[in-house]
Amino acid sequence: MAEIAPSILAADFANLQRDVEMINSSSADYIHVDIMDGMFVPNISFGIPVCEAIHKHAKKPLDVHLMIEQPDRYLQAFRNAGASGITVHYEACPHLHRTIQHIKELGAEPGVALNPHTPVEVLSEIMGDVSLILIMSVNPGFGGQKFIENTYRKVATLDGYRKKFGYNFKIEVDGGVNLGNAPLLVREGVDILVAGSFVFNSPDPTQTIAELGRS
């Protein structure tokens, strides 16, 4: 069993309210909100006003994934825009400990994300301070990409740290998640599956969310 965070990046942006309400009425646990700045990643998604608009209709907590440079400048703004959890990238944060403390002070759940090439070991000194570790299973920036297979090993290593040291962080995987890889990910220790195109491109997104949750 996994928690499910449908990624709103794959929604129909001209019908955001409809798609947020679909997620509300589904068994999803969060709404995953992807923020891209065209600098940390090549793509630009949307910003604070859209996050606020999603929050206005959302009945599930917003899991905000900041794929941006210098995220410290925007933590307060995304918290005000309704973020329950704020995840920053390890690769974008030279003072990650300070950034994590800042997110906590704002009353949000702090998360840290790792690009596919970044080993989980780099987080060994911060694992006890975060609520969530997000393993990117594609290179961040776009929906609809192919799942990268080294993700299983990274999840297993992270789960090993968690067991050995008694940490409480959840493990989230993001990118290319589908019904084929979901059960394997859960077996390695994943708690939260993010899924964008697999949910929104399916004939019955509500049903797909339920099926993923049974993984």
Contacted entry of ligand DX5, Zn ion, none for residue 141, CB cut-off 5 to 8 Å set by kind = ligand DX5
Site for Zn ion in 49-78 (CB under 5 A): 65
Active-site position among 19, 34, 37, 63: 34
Would you give the DSSP letter of residue 204? -
Out of 111, 143, 189, 205, the residue judged to bind ligand DX5 by CB under 6 A? 143
Residues comprising the binding site for a divalent metal cation?
Answer: 32, 34, 65, 174
Provide the residue type at 39 as one letter: M
CB 85 within 8 A of CB 132: yes
Burial class (CB in 10 A: 0-12, 13-18, 19+), 1: exposed
- Residue 177, interface with ligand DX5 (CB under 6 A)? yes
Binding-site member from 2, 10, 120, 186 for ligand DX5 (CB under 6 A)? 10
| Strand stretches in the chain, DSSP E | 3-6, 31-36, 62-67, 83-89, 109-114, 132-136, 170-174, 192-195
198 near ligand DX5 (CB under 6 A) = yes
Six token digits for residue 152: 């299983």
Class of residue 148 by CB neighbours under 10 A (exposed 0-12, middle 13-18, buried 19+):
middle
Residue 172 beta carbon to ligand DX5: minimum distance, rounded to whole angstroms: 10
- Tell me the closest approach of the beta carbon of residue 32 to Zn ion, in angstroms: 6
Count the Cβ atoms, other than its own, within 10 Å of residue 53: 16
Active site annotation includes 34: yes
Q: Which stretch binds ligand DX5 (CB under 6 A): 54-62, 88-96, 120-128, 136-144?
A: 136-144
Q: How far is CA 59 from the centre of its chain?
A: 17
Q: Does residue 45 sit in helix, strand or coil?
A: coil
Binding-site residues from annotation for substrate: 7, 65, 141-144, 174-176, 196-197
Residues in 14-33 that interact with ligand DX5 by CB under 6 A: 32
Q: Examine residue 89 and tell whether it contacts ligand DX5 (CB under 6 A).
A: no
Site for Zn ion in 130-189 (CB under 5 A): 174
The CA distance from 13 to 17, in Å, is 9
Which residues have a catalytic role annotated?
34, 174
Binding site for ligand DX5 (CB under 6 A): 7, 9-10, 32, 34, 65, 138, 140-145, 174-177, 194-198
